[in-house]
Structures are given as structure tokens and as C-alpha cells.
Structure 1
Amino acid sequence: MELRLLEYFWTVADAGTVSEAARRLHVTQPTVSRQIQALEDELDTQLFDREHNHLTLTEAGVFLRSRAEEILSLTQQTERAFTDRQRAVMTGNLRIGCVEADNSATMAMMLEEMTAEYPEVTFTITTGDGDIIADQLDKGLVDVAILIDPVDTAKYESLRLPRVERWGLLMSTEAFLAERDAVTPADLGGLPLITSQRPAVQTMLDEWLDGAVPPHIIGHYNLNFNVVPLVERQVGMALGIAGVTRDVDHSKLKFVPLSPALTTHCVLVWRRNRVLTPLVADYIRRFREAFN
């Protein structure tokens, strides 16, 4: 006997009418009637006497109602016990490493859900470039990390996030390229460029240039905050992604995307072949359910 049938039966018995039971259950009246008929057919017993629009329990119905109350109550208590047990497990500090990217909003969304459900959970967020965050993950200083492609995930378990990160140049509004809607490989030849020191980013840029004259790399940076003053003073232009430029002074700086478009994704990564704590496993589960 399905618990759903018992729930429908108990609700009808308590409400006295199909219409009121349907309202409480948020279903249609025919649905309620079919479920009650199915239960009576299964038990081969009439459970209600039907008089106009009102239903009264038969002797068998009275007996089943008492049993249904016991079964439904036990079910609810069991579910509550497991919920309480799970809540008791979900304590501690979740350590997250995250690069500067649009997908930091995704990280925040998952943390919002988790901390609302488990108020005793705390978190620590470490921000840096991909190499720094990956190193912290390797050393066990963070539990999970959000990194920007290209990422060598051979030693990590990973989950690709759907939000696209678009690459371009952050430049002064006074720069001659600021009038453009996009920057092409031909535009970059010999221009002073500040870029990430990650070898994977340099390789990605070389592939995008596709043999065009390369820019003049004058420096490297890992976080957007420190490169902004250099770009404002036109020391150079900074290669980066659109998401980290939202809070800059747009009267002084402009982000111009690359063309052909150069886009990558972020990935959620965690160490391979490691036993995950319930807290870390739950955080990863939320990403899987949202994006798989």
C-alpha cells in the first residue's frame, strides 16, 4: 500500500468532502476520487458512505483511519529524525578557493543555500589566480576551488560550470582602441600588455593570435585590483575576463572583448581520491544538481 494513498484517504476522512481534500492536497477533485477508488479496490472494501457531497467513514474506514494516522505519523517522525541527524552532521568550516570571475556569483548562490539550511556552517574564501588557488588545493588548505579554464584537471575531480567567461582587454578610455567594439589579433601587434603569469594563459593567447605579431608583454598580475591603476595611467592594457571589470570606474576604463571571441568556462575542482567530509560532499552535490 502506497503512503500517498493513505495520505489521500486520511485527508478525505478529515475534511469530509472530496473538494476540501483536493484543496488541502493541491490537486484536482477527480485525482482525489481516483486515488480513493484505487485504495478501496486494493483493499476490496468500501471505506466511505457517500451521501450527496459529504463522505462518512464506514466501519472499515474508521479502522483504516486509525492505522493511517499511526503510519503517517511514524513516517513523518522518521523523516524528521533523518533531517535532524543530517543537520547535526553539517557543521564546521568550508574552505573555498576562487579566482576573480563571473562565476564567483555561482559560488555565492550555493553558499547562500547551504548557510540558510545549515546555520552552524561557516566558510572561508581565498581569492587568487589559478596557480595560487590550485597550490592551496594541493596542500589541503582549501577544500574545493573554482578555477578558470584552461586548467589541467588530471589530478582533480571537476565539474564544468555553464556560465561563459569572455576574454578581452581592460584599457583606458583615452586609449585609441577604446573606440573599438572588439580587438583583433592584428590590433595587438607590439602594444604594451599586462597579463597573467600563468603559462596556460600565455599559451591560450598565442593560439588566439594565430601567427599575428604578438603584443609586448611588459608585466604580469594575478588580481585585478592592483593592475587597475596601471591601466588608468596607460602604462599598458590588461588581458582579463569581463566579469572582473564590473566594479571599475567606467569613466576611466573600458573593457573591449577580443574578436574572434575568446571564451572559457570555470570549473569546480576538488582533490581526486580523497575522502570528502559530509560538508564538502554536500556543497559539491549542490553544484551537480544545479548544472548536471
Structure 2
Amino acid sequence: MEIRVLRYFWTIAEEGSISRAAELLHITQPTLSRQLRELEEELGTELFYRENKQMTLTEAGVFLKDRAQEILSLTDQTEQAFMDQKKQLFSGHISIGCVEADNSDTLAMMLGEMVRDYPQVTFHIFSGTSDDITEKLDKGLIDLAVLLEPIPTDKYERIILPRTEKWGLLVSNESFLAQKKKMVPEDLIGVPLLCSARKEVQKMIADWMNVSIEQMNIVGTYNLIFNVFSLVENRVGSALTIEGSVMSRHVKNLTFVPLYPTIETECVVAWKKNRSFSPVVNEFIRRMKNAFEA
């Protein structure tokens, strides 16, 4: 006698109807009728009186329903106990480096789900530049990193996150550039620029402007964008940055103007190839793959 069949029988007894029970159990009526008939044959007795499409328990049926209630209750409690124990035993720590980006809320959502499912799991988020984060990733000081591409594909595995990061120019509202709806390459000629210290970013912008890095009027570099808000506000320079790093900060007196033709960068979760991880980190990676890989 299978637990599954006992649950079928108990549901029929509760509902008094095969059709209603089949609907609750998400199986077809013929399948449920066959399972009940086979159970009665196995036990050698009828379990229901069948009158006018109503199902009434026989004396044997009443006895079996009482036993089925006990067995099913114990089965459910046992399964729940193992699930609770698994959640308690599944503990550990995740360390993640994260650049300033629009996809930071995606990371927060995934971490939130993980901690709700496994309350013993803890985490640490390290915010910094791509260079700071990749250095820690290479040294094994963090498990995973949220980075802006390009990243070395020979060193890291990666999952592409759902939203691309749009580049633009952060300008003072007092600047004539704040009136523009979009920023074309000619608009940046001669403009004092604050730019990421990463050479890859500088080259990307220079290629977009169709000039060399040396021809760009870079008056200063930065690692984290919040360090330059006051410089932009005081018109020391305008900052090249991604929209996601400023859109949630509600900065006053500053305007983000997107570049045109558009420059968009993929945001990825990356980790070192061939590195062994704890079960907690492996589970987090598995969840990220399920969520974002086709």
C-alpha cells in the first residue's frame, strides 16, 4: 500500500466525490477511479458505497480513513522535519565584491531569497572598483564578484545579469550640457572630464569619440562615483559613468545625460575558474544560473 494511494483515498473520503478529489489532486478522474478500485482489490473489500454519484464510507472505509489520517500526518511531519534540519545544517558564508551598478538590486534580491531559505547563511558585500574587486577575486579573498565587462574570459566563469548598464555624462545643472537630451562625441571635445582610472573604460570612451586617450580632456580620475559628485556640482569637470551608479542616489543639482550613439555594458557575476567552493556558494551559483541562464 503506497502513501500516494492512501492520500488519494483520504481525499476522496474528505470530498465525498471522485470528481472533486481529482480536481484537488490534479489528476484525471479515470486515473483516480482506477487507483481506488485497485486499492479495494488489494484489501479485498469495498471502501465506499456509491449512490447517486455520492461516495459514502463503508465500515472498512471508516477504519482505513482513521489509519490513513495517522499515517499521512506522520509522513508529512517527518518530511517537514528533514526539510527543517536541512535548512539548519545548511550554513556558511558568502563573500561578494560588487561594483556600483544598476544590477546591485538583482544581487540583493538573490541574497534575500537565499537567507530566507537558509537562515544560518551569512554574507559580506565588498564595494569597490573593478580593479579592487578582481584583485580580491584572484587572491581568493572573495567568492564571487559583480563586475562590468570586459573581463578576462580565460580566468573567470560568468553569468550575464539581466540589465545592461548605459553610459552617459553626469553634469552640473548649471552647465549648458544639462540642457541636452543626449551627448554625442562632438559635445565632449574640450570638456573637462572625470573618468574611471581603468584604461579599458578610457579606451572605450576614446574609441566612441574617435580620438586617442591622450586627446581626451581628462582632468581627473576616480574609483567610486560618489567621490566626484561635489566636483561635478562645482563644475571642476563632468563625470563619465553608468546610469545605474547614480540613478538610485537622488543627487541634487546634477543631471545624467546618456551618450549617443549608445554605449551599453554587460554586467556579470563572475568567479575564478576551477576553484572549489563551499556548498553554500555552490548553491548560490546554482540559483543564479537557474534565474539568468537560458
TM-score by length of 2: 0.85
What is the CA-CA distance between 1:86 and the residue it aligns to? 2.6
What displacement does 1:129 show? 1.0
> CA offset at residue 206 of structure 1?
2.5
**8 Å contact 2:40–2:47 — kept in the other structure?**
no
Residue 9 of structure 1 and its aligned partner are, at CA, apart by 3.0
Q: Secondary structure at the match of 1:7?
A: helix
Distance 1:2 1:165 in 2: 54
Which residue in the other structure is 2:271 paired with?
270
Corresponding residue of 1:233: 234
SS in 1 for 2:165: strand
Matched, 1:182 2:182: yes
The residue that corresponds to 1:169 in the other structure is 169
State TM-score, norm by structure 1: 0.85
Alignment of 1:1-292 (within 5 A): 6-18=6-18, 21=21, 25=24, 31=27, 33-40=29-36, 45=41, 48-57=48-57, 72=72, 76=76, 79-211=79-211, 214-248=215-249, 250-292=251-293
Number of corresponding residues: 288
Uncovered stretches (5+) of structure 2, i.e. residues with no partner: none
What are the Cα deviations for residues 190-218 of structure 1, in whole angstroms up to 9, with x where unaligned? 21111111122122213322348943111
Q: Is contact 1:185-1:212 (8 Å) kept? A: no
**Structure 1 unaligned residues grouped into runs of 5+:** none
SS of structure 1 residue aligned to 2:163: strand
* Inter-partner Cα distance in structure 2 for 1:174 and 1:269: 40
Q: Secondary structure at the match of 1:280?
A: helix
Once the two structures are superposed, what CA deviation does each residue of 1:116-144 show, in whole Å capped at 9, x if it has no partner?
Answer: 22222222111001111111111121111
Query: Is residue 9–residue 36 contact of structure 2 (8 Å, CA) maintained in 1?
Result: no
Asked whether the equivalents of residues 170 and 240 of structure 1 are also in contact (C-alpha less than 8 Å), the reply is: yes
Cα RMSD, aligned residues only: 2.9
The answer to whether the 8 A contact 2:161-2:266 is kept is: yes
Q: Say if 1:138 and 1:40 are closer, same or farther in 2 by CA, change over 3 A.
A: same
> SS of the residue aligned with 1:136?
helix
1:249 and 1:88 mapped to 2: Cα distance?
40
Which deviates further from its counterpart, 268-277 or 5-14?
Answer: 5-14
Mapped contact 2:18–2:33 kept (Cα < 8 A):
no
CA contact (8 A) 2:155 2:273 kept: yes
Output the CA distance in 2 between the equivalents of 1:264 and 1:221: 19
Identical columns (%): 50
Residues 130 and 148, structure 1, Cα contact 8 Å, conserved in 2: yes
Q: Which stretch shows the higher mean deviation, 90-99 or 1-10?
A: 1-10
Checking the alignment, whether the CA contact within 8 Å between 1:89 and 1:278 is kept in structure 2 is no
Report the Cα distance in structure 2 between the residues aligned to 1:287 and 1:56, rounded to whole angstroms.
Answer: 50
